[in-house]
């Protein structure tokens, strides 16, 4: 069962006068909208796809969103969309109210919620290390070893947000941006949450103090960890094993990449 199949919410309504949601995938295949011709309806899947393409290049697309739950930080939405064949379907997705305050997400350029910083801690004549944080995350119910990160404030530039978050969460001051990634989505099956990956250099010798001080709110639960870059993957696995910590996906994926190609391919 794929992510799509299992969560595909084959709740199908007719385009007009929809009042109830039906749990039946077979119905999905029998409810083309009026955007799809009668001939197309008679074809097989391959024919559907090619026929649909000629009918409406804009498929699939979201056509409406309804809020089913909201608090000051999150909004859960029932999303109505047309699939590749023009059949209407429904999905449930979560978004941050802090990023989409007006609910005009449909059709607009994607915004980016947050920055995630990979801080290379460099020192002359010493191996480069990485500054990580360990944060208690209520949705996971655990401490998570992760990268310093935070929401981009309003019109703030991503590099400014990255420097600020790094300093607030770890006390370290970055000297330069080494790479600014594009917006990337974190868990696209259930949320539109997005972030930019920012690689930064932090020069140990340029810090005001040998023991940088965090600037945490009273309700932040963050510990600073400095890890070896050379053996970051085994370090993370050991951390998970000995402390029961969870591991952030961006951190592990990047660390694994830094190891290079798997031996049998290299």
Q: What is the 3-state secondary structure (H, E, C) of 186-240?
A: CCCCCECCEEEEEEEEEEHHHCCCCCCCCCCCCCCCEEEEEEECCCHHHHHHHHH
- The span from the CA of 259 to the CA of 230, in Å, is 8
Instruction: Tell me 10's DSSP state.
Output: B
Q: Nearest distance from residue 54's CB to a second copy, in Å?
A: 17
Estimate to the nearest angstrom the gap between the alpha carbon of 22 and the chain centroid: 30
Estimate to the nearest angstrom the gap between the alpha carbon of 64 and the chain centroid: 22
Q: Nearest distance from residue 41's CB to a second copy, in Å?
A: 13
Q: Nearest distance from residue 19's CB to a second copy, in Å?
A: 17
Q: Nearest distance from residue 34's CB to a second copy, in Å?
A: 19
Q: Nearest distance from residue 90's CB to a second copy, in Å?
A: 8
- The span from the CA of 248 to the CA of 147, in Å, is 8
Beta carbons within 8 Å of 148's beta carbon, 6+ residues apart:
116, 117, 119, 131, 132, 133, 165, 166, 169, 170
Q: Nearest distance from residue 17's CB to a second copy, in Å?
A: 22
Nearer to a second copy among residue 201 and residue 207 (C-beta) = 201
Nearer to a second copy among residue 190 and residue 204 (C-beta) = 190
202 in Cβ contact with 166 (< 8 Å): yes
- The span from the CA of 53 to the CA of 59, in Å, is 8
Nearer to a second copy among residue 45 and residue 210 (C-beta) = 45
Nearer to a second copy among residue 171 and residue 250 (C-beta) = 250
Nearer to a second copy among residue 37 and residue 76 (C-beta) = 76
Nearer to a second copy among residue 207 and residue 214 (C-beta) = 214
Q: Nearest distance from residue 76's CB to a second copy, in Å?
A: 6
Which residue, 163, 158, 166, is CA-closest to 195?
Answer: 158
Question: For 234, how many CA atoms within 13 A lie in the half-sphere containing its CB?
Answer: 4
Nearer to a second copy among residue 9 and residue 14 (C-beta) = 9
């Amino acid at each position: 069962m794929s992510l799509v199949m299992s969560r595909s919410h084959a709740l199908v309504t007719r385009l007009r006068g929809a009042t109830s949601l039906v749990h039946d995938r077979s119905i999905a295949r029998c409810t083309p909208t009026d955007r799809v011709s009668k001939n197309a309806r008679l074809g097989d899947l391959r024919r559907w796809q090619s026929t649909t393409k000629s009918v409406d290049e804009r498929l699939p697309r979201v056509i409406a969103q309804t809020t089913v739950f909201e608090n000051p930080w999150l909004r859960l939405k029932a999303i109505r969309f047309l699939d590749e064949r023009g059949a209407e379907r429904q999905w449930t997705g979560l978004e941050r109210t802090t990023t989409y305050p007006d609910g005009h997400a449909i059709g607009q350029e994607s915004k980016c919620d947050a920055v995630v910083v990979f801080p290379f801690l460099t020192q002359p004549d010493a191996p480069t290390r990485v500054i990580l944080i360990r944060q208690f995350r209520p949705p996971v119910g655990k401490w998570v070893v992760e990268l310093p990160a935070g929401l981009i404030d309003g019109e703030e530039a991503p590099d400014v947000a990255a420097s600020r978050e790094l300093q607030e969460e770890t006390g370290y001051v970055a000297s330069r941006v080494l790479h600014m990634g594009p917006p990337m989505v974190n868990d696209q099956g259930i949320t539109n949450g997005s972030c930019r990956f920012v690689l930064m250099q932090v020069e140990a010798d340029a810090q005001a103090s040998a023991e940088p001080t965090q600037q945490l709110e009273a309700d932040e639960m963050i510990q600073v960890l400095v890890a070896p870059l050379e053996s970051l993957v085994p370090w993370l696995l050991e951390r998970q094993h000995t402390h029961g910590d969870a591991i952030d996906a961006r951190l592990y994926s990047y660390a694994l990449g830094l190891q290079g190609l798997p031996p049998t391919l290299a």
